[in-house]
Structure 1
């Protein structure tokens, strides 16, 4: 372990003599950053699991051949990244957490806000991506997809019968998320989850502020029938038909939302 850190530090030191395309030399990482990098790698690779507690401070100091202040700085770096929670007491210590997609979503949202992204932009991305996901699901995962999607449809149907608007909205959102998750493509799943989280939180906030009823009973019934038809197309293996139908459906939702909300205003994830 110490040899690995020493080698990394040596390589970083030598890189000071190298220059990139600009005029600035590479920065030499601090020892605490090297320790944090090693521990971060173990967390990301799964060598350290959710809830694991790191060894005692004295053991880590000896293992990495660093001072206690350096080790504590390394732990603070990982704590700032939400990869560790440091608690005090006899049963305390640095406790491990895997990378949290919610933190990535917040940072992603800040970048989008900084660039003036609107709700219309976010839903536009969804209209482009989600139908392609439907095509992939219908082509490669239709047998697994049908029972999952039908379960969400039953939840929607029950919510409509109970006149539970909140439960219906949640069941409908789960149906849309399932279309993405059933692709099995993790980068796509994480990207769409981030976009959907930002979009849905803004729509919910806007609806509350304006006291707008997004969908009446007829609209909810039409949405349910659209979901049922999509599942039928997926079950039949009609990937092209499912993609085209779902794009048209999303475009109709986009039109409805544009009539109800100020979607051309930049998002604000700081609210």
Structure 2
């Protein structure tokens, strides 16, 4: 007769002590208790607070440094400098992944053509848009008109119109995800197009004026609260005259995350 043996309960894996310490410090950074460029408490203070050994604190610092949340200062100075997560960090990591997949600039631009119209519609739906969105867009538009004779300056301000629109759409997730694409694309433009030899069709004043007029139309539709109109205007803005608006660089070239650090 076979006697069934009782099944031993599975042991739950206990989190390492260093991970518990790292989690506590991480929460202080993400909650805003610790600000950008703050210095983490001294190792001795953390040892006393958490009741752990020096190797444990060093391992917790290593975990946070790997996540980009701190920079550990070695040597006699010691300590760790806090880095609050920024959109640029997300854009860089996204750029690395896209670069590893050999994604092209055209692939990135296509994603923005699909996603940015939703941000424009969301801007138009904001009840507080006259205080939160429109003043920022107005300033960029006015600065662009003032700089319209300078292709190099105008290209940067034209890009800024899009990044400001996305950043202020009122949805944090969209602002971060689509905004990361905007930042990544702007870095490609900054490196490849903003010099005297590669302005492409933007060297033509008429093209720059047409672009400014389209931005003005998008601004007006957002001001009127016309979500569908703003969405369609952005879509047409990306699509219309696509054959004429050459950026002056190879749109099929691969994305480079390093351009974010240029």
TM-score tier, shorter chain, comes to 0.7 to 0.9
Aligned length in residues: 246
Residue among 140, 157, 164 paired with 1:152: 140
- Which digits, 9 at most, give the CA deviation of each residue in 1:26-47, with x for residues without a partner? xx64322222122112211222
Residue among 140, 147, 164 paired with 2:150: 164
Structure 1 position 253, deviation (Å): 6.2
Greater RCO (CA < 8 Å, at least 6 residues apart): 2
Name the residue aligned to 1:196. 182
Residue among 208, 219, 244 paired with 1:220: 208
Contact preservation (8 Å) 1:61, 1:68? yes
Contact preservation (8 Å) 2:147, 2:154? yes
Structure 1 position 209, deviation (Å): 9.0
- Which digits, 9 at most, give the CA deviation of each residue in 1:39-94, with x for residues without a partner? 11221122222333332222211222221122112112222333223346898632
| Aligned mates of 1:181, 1:196 — CA distance in 2 | 10
Name the residue aligned to 2:5. none
Contact preservation (8 Å) 1:123, 1:254? no
- Which digits, 9 at most, give the CA deviation of each residue in 1:213-255, with x for residues without a partner? 2302111111111112222222233222222122111113654
- Which digits, 9 at most, give the CA deviation of each residue in 1:128-177, with x for residues without a partner? 111121122222244233333222111011101xx322321222122111
Contact preservation (8 Å) 2:126, 2:170? no
| Aligned mates of 1:236, 1:103 — CA distance in 2 | 34
Give SS of 1:14's match.
coil
TM, length-normalised to structure 2: 0.81
Residue among 167, 181, 188 paired with 1:181: 167
User: What is the RMSD computed on CA atoms of the aligned residues?
Assistant: 2.7
TM, length-normalised to structure 1: 0.79
Residue among 101, 108, 130 paired with 1:143: 130
Q: Does 1:112 align with 2:112?
A: no
Name the residue aligned to 1:14. 11
Structure 1 position 210, deviation (Å): 10
For residues 25-104 of structure 1, what are the structure 2 equivalents within 5 Å? 29-87=15-73, 93-104=79-90
Structure 1 position 123, deviation (Å): 0.9
Between structures 1 and 2, the one with greater helix share: 1
Runs of 5+ unmatched residues, structure 2: 1-9
